[in-house]
């Protein structure tokens, strides 16, 4: 009897040992501060890293999860993962937590050069995971029937002071998801083929620089946040039934400067937002350059350049208190204008007329036809023959080098020169 019990106990211990991954055993034996260098092969099983170690892989090093949990869970400060392919997290949305390739629950983590695929979320920074650096990582979404059924590339919830640098995210639900995260630097990331490239809520004092949001249903959605800076980002080819390059909703004091909005259904959409500065941006070949709702106020628009959009700007819901110039500086509208004193400012104010906002307000199906030549003709006709719906009053429209006086002024100029010469000949 005793012998049978002993054999049973040994069998249980053996099975428990077999369920511990090889990487877990390496981590458990490592001293804090040491470096674990992995071979170019597959390491099966999930791992919890509960001490400050560095795990370095090489080409061909794969951490293969068992599709039941997080592949790597970090619970100690100052853990570093580098050069690893991490795949096979749990995919269930009914589990106690949404699972990820790497879930960080302690401060100071560094994730560098990771390839994450076949996971629900690629990277999840949660709770105590402040001050993480995620750099040069590649996250690829799972191919499922709908984007809503998969996770995000990088998810950040209730933790801040992170640095997300030069990562590439493709085919996930949202590229980057922020909720209650402040003090972050987001620079040089490329996000495409997602629902929202950036889904961002209740997060303040963050800086986005040099990121590319292209080919998504929505480029970047910023909601209920304050004091953000978005500079030199690109929002392009974001097309859908109600798509946008960048949306500002329920936010305040957002600084959007020197960004490029190219070929979006709507370049910039602003609703229930106050006190933002929109300056130095380029709006090129969008259906609508800027869609501004009347519940938004105290925005300043200056030195933006509008070129070949179906409508440069539309105002929806009636008039609102926004300013299209500041200190004698307006915007470039790419329309013929005189600048006889060559000071770079047109000699007459610019009144931009558009009925498209009214049309959208009456029937949202108008979005479906924004790229239609018929709608462009409707907009041009309104601008030429209707002067009742002035959307923009720019007192100081800017004139670039390419802007030239309209050709019909040339005969008048020649007549003026001839008249001057004739007068000089008659003068004794």
pLDDT at 116 exceeding the cut of 60: yes
Same domain for 239 and 328, yes or no, is yes
Contact assessment for residue 321 and residue 390, using Cβ atoms and an 8 Å cutoff: no
Same domain for 243 and 116, yes or no, is no
How is residue 252 written in tokens?
Answer: 């305040």
Q: Which pLDDT does position 374 carry in this prediction?
A: 72
Is residue 140 in some structural domain? yes
Rounded Cα–Cα distance for residues 286 and 191 (Å)? 19
Same domain for 168 and 313, yes or no, is no
User: Which of these, 196, 104, 211, lies nearest to 159 by C-alpha position?
Assistant: 104
Q: Single out the residue in 176, 203, 230 at which a domain terminates.
A: 203
Report how far apart, in Å, the C-alpha atoms of 345 and of each of 279, 331, 333, 356 are: 16, 9, 11, 27
The per-type count for the chain, helices as H runs and strands as E runs, is 5, 38
Q: Which pLDDT does position 423 carry in this prediction?
A: 43
Same domain for 142 and 67, yes or no, is yes
Q: Which pLDDT does position 411 carry in this prediction?
A: 52
Same domain for 253 and 177, yes or no, is no
Rounded Cα–Cα distance for residues 105 and 68 (Å)? 18
Is residue 177 in some structural domain? yes
Same domain for 314 and 388, yes or no, is yes
Same domain for 69 and 186, yes or no, is yes
Is residue 215 in some structural domain? no
Same domain for 254 and 393, yes or no, is yes
Rounded Cα–Cα distance for residues 132 and 123 (Å)? 11
Report how far apart, in Å, the C-alpha atoms of 411 and of each of 341, 406, 408, 417 are: 19, 11, 7, 10
Phi, psi dihedral angles at 167 (to 5 degrees): -95, 155
pLDDT digits (tens, 9 = 90+) for 164-185: 999 999 999 999 999 999 999 9
User: Which of these, 125, 136, 138, 17, lies nearest to 79 by C-alpha position?
Assistant: 125
pLDDT digits (tens, 9 = 90+) for 225-262: 999 999 999 999 988 767 899 999 999 999 999 999 99
Report how far apart, in Å, the C-alpha atoms of 344 and of each of 222, 281, 328, 330, 399 are: 34, 18, 11, 10, 5
- When pLDDT is averaged across residues 43-54 and rounded to a whole number, the result is 97
Environment class of 55 (CB within 10 Å of its CB; exposed 0-12, middle 13-18, buried 19+): buried
Is residue 410 in some structural domain? no
Task: Calculate Rg over the CA atoms of the chain.
Answer: 29
Q: Single out the residue in 203, 229, 259 at which a domain terminates.
A: 203
Is residue 19 in some structural domain? no
Structural domain that includes position 394: 221-401
Is residue 115 in some structural domain? yes
How much of the chain, in percent, has pLDDT values that exceed 90?
66
Q: Single out the residue in 203, 232, 251 at which a domain terminates.
A: 203
Same domain for 235 and 181, yes or no, is no
Within 10 angstroms of residue 407's Cβ, the number of other Cβ atoms is 8
Same domain for 183 and 262, yes or no, is no
Is residue 267 in some structural domain? yes
Q: Where are the beta strands (DSSP E) in 207-281?
A: 207-209, 212-214, 218-223, 226-231, 234-236, 244-249, 252-257, 260-262, 266-271, 277-279
Number of domains the chain is built from: 2
How much of the chain, in percent, has pLDDT values that exceed 70?
83
- When pLDDT is averaged across residues 31-45 and rounded to a whole number, the result is 97
Same domain for 182 and 228, yes or no, is no
Is residue 212 in some structural domain? no
Within 10 angstroms of residue 423's Cβ, the number of other Cβ atoms is 9
pTM, entire model? 0.83
Same domain for 182 and 273, yes or no, is no
């Amino acid at each position: 009897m005793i012998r049978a019990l002993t054999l049973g106990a040994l069998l249980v211990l053996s099975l428990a040992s077999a369920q511990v991954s090889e990487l877990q055993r390496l981590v458990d034996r490592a001293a804090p501060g040491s470096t674990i260098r992995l071979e170019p092969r597959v390491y099966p099983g999930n791992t919890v890293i509960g001490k400050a170690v560095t795990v370095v892989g090489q080409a061909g090093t794969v951490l293969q999860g068992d599709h039941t949990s997080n592949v790597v869970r970090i619970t100690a400060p100052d853990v570093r993962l580098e050069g690893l392919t991490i795949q096979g997290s749990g995919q269930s949305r009914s589990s106690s937590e949404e699972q990820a390739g790497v879930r960080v629950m302690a401060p100071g983590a560094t994730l560098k050069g990771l390839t994450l695929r076949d996971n629900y979320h690629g990277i999840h920074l949660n709770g105590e995971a402040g001050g993480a650096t995620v750099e040069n990582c590649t996250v690829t979404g799972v191919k499922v029937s709908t984007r809503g059924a998969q996770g995000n590339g990088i998810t950040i919830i209730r933790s801040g002071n992170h640095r997300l640098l030069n990562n590439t995210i493709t085919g996930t639900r949202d590229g980057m998801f922020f909720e209650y995260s402040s003090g972050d630097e987001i620079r040089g990331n490329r996000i495409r083929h997602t629902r929202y490239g950036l889904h961002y809520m209740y997060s303040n004092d963050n800086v986005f620089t040099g990121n590319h949001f292209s080919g998504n249903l929505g480029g970047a959605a910023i909601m209920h946040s304050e004091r953000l800076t978005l500079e030199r980002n690109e929002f392009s080819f974001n097309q859908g039934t109600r798509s946008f390059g960048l949306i500002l909703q329920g936010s305040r004091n957002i600084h959007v400067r020197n960004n490029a909005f190219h070929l979006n259904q709507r370049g910039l959409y602003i609703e229930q937002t106050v006190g933002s500065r929109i300056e130095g941006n380029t709006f090129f070949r969008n259906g609508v350059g800027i869609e501004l709702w009347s519940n938004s106020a105290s925005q300043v628009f200056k030195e933006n350049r509008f070129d070949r959009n179906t409508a440069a700007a539309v105002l929806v819901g009636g008039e609102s208190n926004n300013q299209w110039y500041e200190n004698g500086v307006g915007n470039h509208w790419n329309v013929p204008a005189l600048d006889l004193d060559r000071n770079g400012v047109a000699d007459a104010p610019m009144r931009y007329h558009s009925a498209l906002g009214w049309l959208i307000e009456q029937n949202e199906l108008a979005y479906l036809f924004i790229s239609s030549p018929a709608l462009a003709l409707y907009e041009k006709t309104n601008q030429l023959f209707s002067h009742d719906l002035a959307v923009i009053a720019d007192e100081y429209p800017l004139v670039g080098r390419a802007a030239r006086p309209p050709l019909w002024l040339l005969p008048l100029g020649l007549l003026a020169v001839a008249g001057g010469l004739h007068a000089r000949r008659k003068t004794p």
